[in-house]
Chain A
Amino acid sequence: MLRKETANKFREIVGKDYYLDSVEDLISYSYDSSATEAMPDAVLLPGSTEQVSEIMKVANEEEIPITPRGAGTNLSGGSVPLKGGVVLVLTRMNRLLKLSRENRYAIAEAGLINLELQNHVKKEGLFYPPDPASWTVSTLGGNVAENAGGPRGVKYGVTRDWILGLKAVLADGRIINAGGITAKNVTGIDLMSLFTGSEGCLGIVTEITVKLLPLPAFQQSIQAFFPQMDATSRTVARIIGSGIVPVALELMDKVVMNMVEDSVHIGLNRDVEGTLLIMVDGEEATCKQQMSAIIKICKEEGSSDIQVAKSAKEEDDLWLARRSAFGVMSRKKPTCILEDCTVPVSNLQAMIRGTSEICDKYNLTVGIMAHAGDGNTHPMIITDKRDKEEWERVEKAISEIFQLTVDLGGTLSGEHGIGISKKPFLPLIMNEDARRLMVEIKSVLDPKGILNPGKFIE
């Protein structure tokens, strides 16, 4: 519970309608898409950067934990208020402030939904590449905080690669601007990169300037089915190794495919062991050339069935199926633990095989999906958190999967962030001095430790 005086100060800043503290409201901001939950003491929905700044002044003064949140779709617990305090929800700040066709950038408030930005810029013949599976709901602010990726990451990278500038509120309420609107900018330390992926631990990002591309003239998707998983992952390495840069190169195993088909009914082949969903974009002639080279490799690796999307609708269906994959896993068992271990693409085959072996050893059901083109695997272990004995096995398996990732030259997170769940494994990948440097940086920006406490920087 916040003190009455504090609550009143917050009410005055955001207006009484946007200060929430009923038990129902607190519960509904106690979770995100990860497994951990924790109750806040109050929820604030500010309407402007200035309000965020005023809130931070009060919070800093009174040392109240602040956990920023967008749509709450992150998978690592980044927006769960572990230490209580205030959940600062930025969904109301959802305006597109500027869209420049000639200079190819857009400025948006942090609460703007990714897909809404995509739709706005598309009308101007422009393109914003990052496309997390949650893009119909997740906010740009959340995308920046978690440094979100998406299927198009193979060609276009993660959110960080598209940020030209930021406006952020620091722990004590000061407002800073980082970067600008120009395509090139090497002025000063790269503060945008510092904030991008900081999971709300360093400041509250309230405005974002993103770089845009001209909309590709053409795109095409195919889906290839394989009788063996090894051949599926080998195909990935061969495509990438051949010098082709597809937009997206997604892999799903039999378990995932069957559950997706149960949900969307688009006629996925249920009997094969692995499938690749591949997209290329660019000039039509180049795309067709690339696609035929890709199809040739798939056939050489024994693909039994290759389907080419013939219309925009068919393309949409294929990608909708992919985006719903996380949710569909909960059909069989209530809890789905989704990790995003990333390895060099040449080690993808070993990573997938090893993950399956570990889950077999602990007698767990796992569905494997991967943004395969960039070595980013998404093993999804389904369980029931109410089953304590099985939950222990899940935890053991996850820790072995992380060790395997590191052994294969990989990293803990390709695009979801560290948050709560992966925090214990940081030492596997960052040495003590590197971890201490993160703590030291945080202590400069947030000396009282009020910003998203309990998360990965501690």
Chain B
Amino acid sequence: MNMMGKEKPLLSEITSEHVYHCAKCGLCLDVCPVYRETLVEAFSPRGKVQLAKHIIEGNIEITEHMNDILFSSCLLCGSCVAACPSGVRQDALFSSLRWRAAERYGLGFTKKLFFQVLAHGWMMSTSAWFGKWIRKIFSGEWIESRIKFGNLPIDGIPPMNPKPFNDEFPEIVEPKGVINARVLYFHGCATNYVFGDIGRAVVSVLTRMGVQVEIPKKQSCCGLPIFMSGDRKTSLICIKEVLGMFAREGVDAVIVDCATCGSALRNEYVHILKELHDLGEEVDEDLIKAAEYLASITMDVSEFIDAHFDWLPEFPPATSEKVRVTYHDPCHLLKGQGVGVQPRHLLKTLPNVEFVEMEEADSCCGGGGEYQIEYPEMSALITNRKVKNVLVTGAELVATGCPGCSITIGAHLPKDNVKTIHTVQLIQMAMDGKGSE
């Protein structure tokens, strides 16, 4: 662990130099969802950057306590990155440290198994079986009333798709009439297994905009949950598969409907690959180039639709009363990809929507993927803040651009009153001239 002597450096220079650019100004403290709840400096982004400095300089090792800090006090939401005036990439720093910490302390059996399943597409080939199995395990009144997935109440988690979304469509879905653009659709695991409706909405809206949608078969997981947990080796399997399938010339864009997958494709791959390359791991330059290319053509679905607003057919006038809708900024969409204006613009244009802004729309929902399962108490504190802000608006629907946020927020909203929905589903409903249902 010590950098003295001939040992390999812990992190590559592109990552470690960040610690020296932290001015310790503290402007990351109030945007950090965990610091806001704990008010303890070691859990703040600034604290962890300073700890990273001591680790990189060899003053301290990655202790078990540090391992715990790295995982328990950070949702890797990137709020600190967005707020940092000095341009420090805390997310890159922390995710690299998690990698080293995981090498040292291991991942735990459940995580290991789960990541292998994701990375090797076992879910893909056996998905029908997998879906049934999951529902059998997590269903029934007795179980539902007693089991909680960390901070996630089981009865609040939406059911699995009866069959994977990917199996519902041919590989290429042609629009009617003129083709305005050709895109590849990366639908991610959430749409494939849980939110088939989102996938159908993406295809329906895009094709009606004259976009040819290609949905590559046997898509892999984006790898983000895997490398965010520090298992870079396994995540490389995913990254390589995604690059092979999607970093392709001759398409106008790669469309993503999940904020987290989008930020993986756009922000994370290049950094991870460069760092592994610099540290002498087996990553060649072509792979880095492919990642840079993919990052340059990837777009969030709301961003793409907004950029080609004139391709949208005119919406029929709203037939029912307007639905009150508020919008939650997924961290990985707003802070990771700078997409926040576009979904709001779209929502405000829809004839069936009355848009209302919530307080702290850009603050984290507390989900953080596995975070809510591993650290339910902290997650609950953060989620409660979000739910409170939603309820104050009196909205019937919370639009958002991330299935992960949808699950977390949706599971904690009072049933029957408020529901979560993807922005693109609302656009589809507007096209169909529908109200809330």
Q: Which residues of A contact B (CB under 8 A)?
A: 20, 22-25, 27-34, 45, 71-73, 89, 91-92, 94, 111, 113, 115, 134, 136-138, 262-264, 323-331, 334, 336, 384, 386
Quick one: which of A24, A137, A264, A386 contacts B51, CB cutoff 8 A? A24
Measured between C-beta atoms, what is the minimum distance from B296 to chain A in Å? 19
Measured between C-beta atoms, what is the minimum distance from B29 to chain A in Å? 4
Measured between C-beta atoms, what is the minimum distance from B23 to chain A in Å? 4
| A324 nearest CB neighbor, chain B only | B85
Q: How many A-B residue pairs have CB under 8 A?
A: 102
Measured between C-beta atoms, what is the minimum distance from A128 to chain B in Å? 17
Give the residues in chain A near B30, CB-CB below 8 Å.
113, 115, 136-137
Q: Tell me if A134 and B50 are in contact (CB < 8 A).
A: no
Give the residues in chain B near A336, CB-CB below 8 Å.
23
Q: How far is the CA of A71 from the CA of B26 in the complex (A)?
A: 8
Give the residues in chain A near B217, CB-CB below 8 Å.
none
Measured between C-beta atoms, what is the minimum distance from A358 to chain B in Å? 22
Quick one: which of A30, A264, A328 contacts B86, CB cutoff 8 A? A328
Q: Tell me if A73 and B26 are in contact (CB < 8 A).
A: yes
Give the residues in chain B near A134, CB-CB below 8 Å.
25-27
Q: Tell me if B21 and A330 are in contact (CB < 8 A).
A: yes
Q: Tell me if A326 and B25 are in contact (CB < 8 A).
A: yes
Q: Tell me if B84 and A24 are in contact (CB < 8 A).
A: no
Quick one: which of B23, B26, B50, B65 contacts A22, CB cutoff 8 A? B65
Q: Could you list 17 A-B pairs, sorted by A, with CB under 8 Å?
A: A22-B63, A24-B65, A27-B50, A28-B44, A28-B50, A31-B24, A72-B24, A115-B30, A136-B30, A138-B26, A324-B85, A329-B86, A330-B22, A331-B86, A334-B21, A336-B23, A384-B20
Q: Tell me if A28 and B87 are in contact (CB < 8 A).
A: no
Measured between C-beta atoms, what is the minimum distance from A319 to chain B in Å? 14
Measured between C-beta atoms, what is the minimum distance from A32 to chain B in Å? 7
Q: Which of A28, A33, A92 has the most CB atoms of chain B within a 10 A radius of its CB?
A: A28
Q: Tell me if B27 and A327 are in contact (CB < 8 A).
A: yes
Q: How far is the CA of A363 from the CA of B23 in the complex (A)?
A: 22
Q: How far is the CA of A138 from the CA of B24 in the complex (A)?
A: 13
Q: Tell me if A23 and B23 are in contact (CB < 8 A).
A: no
Digit string of B48-74 for contact with A (CB within 8 Å is 1, else 0)? 001100100000100101100100000
Give the residues in chain A near B25, CB-CB below 8 Å.
33, 73, 134, 326-327
Q: Tell me if A324 and B42 are in contact (CB < 8 A).
A: no
Q: How far is the CA of A450 from the CA of B406 in the complex (A)?
A: 52
Digit string of B67-99 for contact with A (CB within 8 Å is 1, else 0)? 001000000000000001111000000000000
Q: Which residues of B contact A (CB under 8 A)?
A: 20-27, 29-30, 39-42, 44, 47, 50-51, 54, 60, 63, 65-66, 69, 84-87
Q: Tell me if B51 and A72 are in contact (CB < 8 A).
A: no
Give the residues in chain B near A331, CB-CB below 8 Å.
21, 85-87
Q: Tell me if B50 and A327 are in contact (CB < 8 A).
A: no
Q: How far is the CA of A323 from the CA of B23 in the complex (A)?
A: 14
Q: Tell me if B69 and A24 are in contact (CB < 8 A).
A: yes
Q: Assuming the A-B contacts A136-B27, A331-B87, are A72 and B22 also in contact, with contact meaning beta carbons closer than 8 angstroms in the complex?
A: no
Give the residues in chain A near B41, CB-CB below 8 Å.
25, 28-29, 72, 89
Q: How far is the CA of A331 from the CA of B26 in the complex (A)?
A: 15
Give the residues in chain B near A325, CB-CB below 8 Å.
85
Q: How far is the CA of A59 from the CA of B42 in the complex (A)?
A: 24
Measured between C-beta atoms, what is the minimum distance from A379 to chain B in Å? 15
Q: Tell me if A72 and B20 are in contact (CB < 8 A).
A: no
Q: How far is the CA of A136 from the CA of B84 in the complex (A)?
A: 13
Q: How far is the CA of A94 from the CA of B40 in the complex (A)?
A: 13
Q: Tell me if A27 and B60 are in contact (CB < 8 A).
A: yes
Give the residues in chain B near A136, CB-CB below 8 Å.
27, 29-30
Q: Assuming the A-B contacts A23-B60, A330-B23, A336-B23, are A71 and B85 also in contact, with contact meaning beta carbons closer than 8 angstroms in the complex?
A: no
| A263 nearest CB neighbor, chain B only | B85
Q: How far is the CA of A81 from the CA of B421 in the complex (A)?
A: 50
Give the residues in chain B near A384, CB-CB below 8 Å.
20
Q: How far is the CA of A23 from the CA of B21 in the complex (A)?
A: 23
Give the residues in chain B near A92, CB-CB below 8 Å.
39
Q: How far is the CA of A407 from the CA of B65 in the complex (A)?
A: 52
Give the residues in chain B near A137, CB-CB below 8 Å.
26-27, 29-30
Q: How far is the CA of A331 from the CA of B84 in the complex (A)?
A: 10
Q: Tell me if A32 and B24 are in contact (CB < 8 A).
A: yes
Q: How far is the CA of A138 from the CA of B30 in the complex (A)?
A: 9
Going nearest first, the 6 A-B pairs with the smallest beta carbon separation are A327-B85, A324-B85, A334-B20, A28-B47, A330-B86, A91-B39
Measured between C-beta atoms, what is the minimum distance from B364 to chain A in Å? 16
Q: How far is the CA of A33 from the CA of B69 in the complex (A)?
A: 22
Q: Tell me if B26 and A33 are in contact (CB < 8 A).
A: yes
Measured between C-beta atoms, what is the minimum distance from B170 to chain A in Å? 42
Q: How far is the CA of A334 from the CA of B85 in the complex (A)?
A: 12
Give the residues in chain A near B50, CB-CB below 8 Å.
27-28, 30-31
Q: Tell me if A72 and B26 are in contact (CB < 8 A).
A: yes
Q: How far is the CA of A323 from the CA of B85 in the complex (A)?
A: 9
Give the residues in chain B near A262, CB-CB below 8 Å.
87
| B26 nearest CB neighbor, chain A only | A73
| B48 nearest CB neighbor, chain A only | A28
Name 14 extra pairs, CB < 8 A, besides A137-B29, A323-B27, A334-B21.
Answer: A23-B63, A30-B50, A91-B39, A134-B25, A136-B30, A137-B26, A263-B85, A324-B27, A328-B87, A330-B23, A330-B85, A331-B85, A331-B87, A336-B23
Q: How far is the CA of A28 from the CA of B21 in the complex (A)?
A: 17
Q: How far is the CA of A32 from the CA of B46 in the complex (A)?
A: 10
Q: Assuming the A-B contacts A28-B50, A45-B40, are A327 and B65 also in contact, with contact meaning beta carbons closer than 8 angstroms in the complex?
A: no
Q: Which of B27, B41, B42, B86 has the most CB atoms of chain A within a 10 A radius of its CB?
A: B41
Q: Tell me if A94 and B23 are in contact (CB < 8 A).
A: no
Give the residues in chain B near A330, CB-CB below 8 Å.
21-23, 85-86
Measured between C-beta atoms, what is the minimum distance from A132 to chain B in Å? 11
| A328 nearest CB neighbor, chain B only | B85
Q: Tell me if A329 and B23 are in contact (CB < 8 A).
A: yes
Give the residues in chain A near B44, CB-CB below 8 Å.
28
Q: How far is the CA of A33 from the CA of B25 in the complex (A)?
A: 5
Q: Tell me if B42 and A25 are in contact (CB < 8 A).
A: yes
